[in-house]
Amino acid sequence: MQLIITIFPLTSFVFPPIYGYYSDKIQNRYNFILFGSIGISFAYFCLFLIQNLILIVLLLFLFGFFMASSNLLMTLFAELVEDDKTLISYFNASVVAGWFVGAQAGGIFIDFYTLEHIFLFIFLISLPNIIIVVFIKEKRSLILERYNKEVEKNSNNLVLNSQEEISISQSIYYGLFFRNFSIKPIMPILAIIMSFHLSSDTEIGFLIGINFLLQFFQMLLIGKIITNKNIKSFMILGYILSSISVLGYIVSTNFWSFLLFQFLVSFSYSMHWAATITYIAQKTSPRNKGKYMGYANTSVFSGSFAGGLLFSLLLSVFNSNYYIVMYFMIIFPLISSFIIFLKFKPN
């Protein structure tokens, strides 16, 4: 099961830089976003119809392929709002709000129609997204015009071309990789960990779902207080909280302790992700933003994929003892913090 879960991040880390590069090259995000949105709905529909395990694995691969294309929506949004950190935080908050509402709605659907039909439910709710995407206006000429005016205003002798050089700190990508190497393999089995200590499915469902709701408010808050001066601190603290959260999941034995560490892990995500995306958005131009945003997604999903493989291997070595394996994962977010502390320079 753990290996099957890693199929999605496999495709999701291969394709984002490719899509980002070509969307930069042809200066068009909309076509990629629409292609990805239609493809995601198609993949969900096929997953509803098909029960063969091999075909399901292939469809998960295809789903990641389409998801990577649709993720350019964040890049386009950052361009449309001129990399405004507060408005970008609204976008991130809307994403996690969707995760929260979707998780609750999915749970209600399963109660009435069983898990067997969950992909039909997801397919149906994905259709309105296609309609919304159809009406998106990219305004590419306006984006480039505003950027050119900003370059002239700053009088910094920047040249707008496809080979434009910028100084993006590569440490952010290593930070994302090692954090997700640790956290992402644990999230799918978190309900199992909780079930060892909690007898109520309602409590477990609440604890899993509250993570996204907390992130919604945290994203809004962080978008208002993050600055170039504290962006490094946000990344470091976010990664440290990730390690503390993993340790917390190991030692938690009741509802309130799990709730505390769900709060901390949601803060860890909100802090490091908001800081990273804001940094990339403000350091890049319309000519290369897709590529560098793609690298961020690649770092997230490649970490998830590699971490999932190690997690699966360790489970087989330690006879499916989740707690022993989780101890191994504590170190990796600390590695992220160490890399950012030593190598990241926001200016």
- State the DSSP code for 81: T
Q: How many CB atoms lie within 10 A of CB 131?
A: 9
Does residue 303 contact residue 177 with C-beta atoms inside 8 Å? yes
Does residue 169 contact residue 344 with C-beta atoms inside 8 Å? yes
Q: Is the pTM of this model over 0.75?
A: yes
Q: Where are the domains of the chain?
A: 2-134+170-343
SS3 of 137, please? coil
In angstroms, rounded to a whole number, what is the distance separating the alpha carbons of residues 333 and 175?
A: 8
pLDDT exceeds cutoff 90 at 304: no
In angstroms, rounded to a whole number, what is the distance separating the alpha carbons of residues 289 and 286?
A: 5
pLDDT of residue 163: 45
pLDDT tens-digit readout, 31-84: 999 999 999 999 999 988 888 877 887 888 888 889 989 999 999 999 999 899
Mean pLDDT, the chain, rounded, equals: 88
Query: What's the topology of domain 2-134+170-343?
Result: Growth Hormone; Chain: A; (1.20.1250)
In angstroms, rounded to a whole number, what is the distance separating the alpha carbons of residues 77 and 220?
A: 16
The CA R_g of the chain, rounded to the nearest whole Å, is: 20
Q: Model confidence at 9, in pLDDT bands (50, 70, 90)?
A: low
pLDDT of residue 329: 93
pLDDT tens-digit readout, 121-140: 999 999 999 999 999 999 89
